[in-house]
Amino acid sequence: MIVSALLTSVGINLFLCILFFTLYSILRKQPGNIDVYAPRLIANDKSQTASGFNLERLLPSTGWVRRAWDLSEDELLSISGLDGVVFMRIFTFSLKMFSFIGLVGVFILLPINYVGGQLRIDIYDLPNKSLDLFSISNVENGSKRLWVHFGAVYITTAFVCYLLYQTDAKKLYKRLTHLKSDVHAQQKFRRSGFLGLFGPKVSLVDHYGKKLDDLEENVRVQQSDVSLTREEVPAAFVSFKSRYGASIALNIQQSIDPTEWIIEQAPEPHDVYWPFFFETFLQRWISKLAVIVASIILTLLFLLPVVFVQGLTNLNQLETWLPFLKGVLTITFVSQVLTGYLPSLILQLALSIVPPIMKIFSSMQGHFSHSEIERSACIKVLWFTIWNVFFANVLSGSVFSQINKILDLKNIPFVLAVAVPGQASFYIAYVVTSGWTSISSELFRMKPLIWSVIGNCASGTNDEPNVPSIPYTSEIPRILLFELLGITYFFLAPLILPFVLAYFCLGYVVYRNQLINVYEPKFDTGGKFWPIVHNSTIFSLLLVQAIAVGIFGLKKLPLASSMSVPLLILTLLFNEYCRKRFFPIFRAYSAEVPLGLNKFAPLSKRRKSEEERVYARGSAGFLF
């Protein structure tokens, strides 16, 4: 891609962003649109609409930005739960990371790449030249300047690992244990009627306690019914008088045969999902295997739009495929749009159908809670996105002809070192097209606005607003993909960093605003999305380190290539330590917390005894 094509893509998307932000700041103040831009506030009776005509309504304003920016984390926790806090932590983590990486990449690496003479590009005709001028490809082979890139890889790895460790793990642990063990942290209120929109306000603890009693009563009634027909239901919700007892039951093996009993922590009553419940271990195992096969097939089928998109980025190849467009493609603006804007747009539209499909797949695995389905689908979408948007695009070119080299593991760093830098311009345009526009369209909420207008015209009255929950399944993988692109290309093509940083800045403000006004959590995983973030970040570091091994070898700097190998080992050791130290927090309670020994929670606020639930299913009977 040439510089002018990138500028065309940036110009189109910048115009769309400004348009969406401007329209939002005006439309959000119109009384007829409050159900679109503040449904959560309406549901909680916190919306305020001024009556009568006011000229200020017709003028764009930025007051919503200040309100979103000033929202404290405690307020965020109270309105969106621990998952909302973790979701915004992804943005704060990424902002810290790319602020540092951006300084290194833009002010140190980018000038070194620009003054390199490897490609011999005429800088006086810059708009018509390739973006490779700003990449590591322009640095001469064997140049001592490559040691700056080597040092940047080490420094960046150390900084990112520091952020992961101070990754706010202790704070997350504090909030998690506080939320689970402190009764005061659970003193939230909602309406007791349908979907929490109607009826008097009640405490969430009392509300869920009543629902739990009703649910357990229904289970007992159903068990009684089937017992009359001499049938057994191999499943039960089991309650304990203390959290310590629940912790013991949850963590010990109940049977000599581990497949005979499956013990899991029970979800909240409103989080239970039964349609694809499987009674036995074998049924669940078979369903999981079937879902894996289906996911692989979907991934392979998606290679078709990926190959088509890659064809659009290559003008000569496009002329070969579609010769009747040869005359049109000679028009400068058309060719710039086709190579700089259209490929990313097509890929983004194709990806939009993946999250719903993966959510269906996850439900078919036998998960019995909405939150677990959401987490499982998020993982599937993430790896689907990483493979199809990153690896499939990178490897869809000439590398497929070198498949024998790819199968040899020792050649993988060198294959990636050749293929990945060549796609830098495509991913810069992708960040702008998919990132900037998706953030601004999230704020504008075009689909709900259109449906609201149609509904008002049809009925003439506003119905009760539909309060959505934030779509973690689609949003977290997209955010982590941009994180991967930023980390991978920070020393290969640092020009991508300002665009990635701009995406996270926009996302930080927009999603905080949406959590205040639009989204309301319907369930909570207890912060279990954060391990996904951690694993994805570690994977990104390992990927860039493997590419560094190959790129320094290709650039005739074998010592730097060899010295990059220990970095891979150190990162793996760091990740193993984090897995042992922090990941168990997200899987089960420790005995220290139920006994009131948690050092992070004040003694006066510790809850030493609380009814806990464990879900058990098996073929031998019930756990009591």
Give yes or no for residue 433 having a pLDDT over 50. Answer: yes
Give yes or no for residue 601 having a pLDDT over 50. Answer: no
| Highest mean pLDDT of the ranges 75-89, 395-409, 460-474 | 75-89
pLDDT in tens, 253-290: 777 777 677 777 777 777 877 777 666 777 778 888 99
Q: What pLDDT, on the 0 to 100 scale, is given for residue 53?
A: 63
Confidence of residue 127 (pLDDT cuts 50, 70, 90): low
Mean pLDDT of 575-602: 64
**Judging by DSSP bridges, how do beta strands 201-203 and 189-191 pair with one another?**
antiparallel
DSSP 3-state of 118: coil
Q: What pLDDT, on the 0 to 100 scale, is given for residue 212?
A: 46
pLDDT in tens, 242-255: 767 777 777 777 77
**What gap in Å lies between CA 514 and CA 80, rounded to an integer?**
10
CA angle 506, 511, 517 (to 5 degrees): 130
Q: What pLDDT, on the 0 to 100 scale, is given for residue 266?
A: 72
Q: What pLDDT, on the 0 to 100 scale, is given for residue 114?
A: 84
Q: What pLDDT, on the 0 to 100 scale, is given for residue 94?
A: 93
Give yes or no for residue 619 having a pLDDT over 50. Answer: no
- 111: which residues sit within 8 A by CB, 6+ positions away? none
> Quick check: 139 and 112 in contact, CB under 8 A?
yes
**What gap in Å lies between CA 413 and CA 563, rounded to an integer?**
14
Q: What pLDDT, on the 0 to 100 scale, is given for residue 580?
A: 85
- Torsion sign (Cα): 7, 13, 17, 22: positive
Confidence of residue 541 (pLDDT cuts 50, 70, 90): very high
Would you state the structure tokens that stand for residue 168, as one six-digit string? 């706010």
Average pLDDT along the chain = 76
Mean pLDDT of 517-527: 85
The lowest-confidence range among 62-71, 399-408, 600-609 is 600-609
Confidence of residue 569 (pLDDT cuts 50, 70, 90): very high
Q: What pLDDT, on the 0 to 100 scale, is given for residue 542?
A: 94
**What gap in Å lies between CA 288 and CA 78, rounded to an integer?**
35
Give yes or no for residue 478 having a pLDDT over 80. Answer: yes
Confidence of residue 69 (pLDDT cuts 50, 70, 90): confident
Q: What pLDDT, on the 0 to 100 scale, is given for residue 500?
A: 93
Question: Which residues partner with 2 through β-bridges?
Answer: 130
pLDDT in tens, 309-340: 666 655 555 556 556 666 665 666 666 666 65
Q: What pLDDT, on the 0 to 100 scale, is given for residue 29?
A: 86
The lowest-confidence range among 34-43, 44-53, 301-310, 319-328 is 319-328
Say what the pTM is.
0.77
Q: What pLDDT, on the 0 to 100 scale, is given for residue 427?
A: 86
**What gap in Å lies between CA 477 and CA 536, rounded to an integer?**
9
**What gap in Å lies between CA 429 and CA 432, rounded to an integer?**
5
Q: What pLDDT, on the 0 to 100 scale, is given for residue 589?
A: 57
What is the full DSSP assignment across 39-71?
A: HHHHHTT------S--GGGGS---HHHHHHHT-
pLDDT in tens, 358-387: 988 888 887 778 888 888 899 999 988 888
> Quick check: 492 and 551 in contact, CB under 8 A?
yes
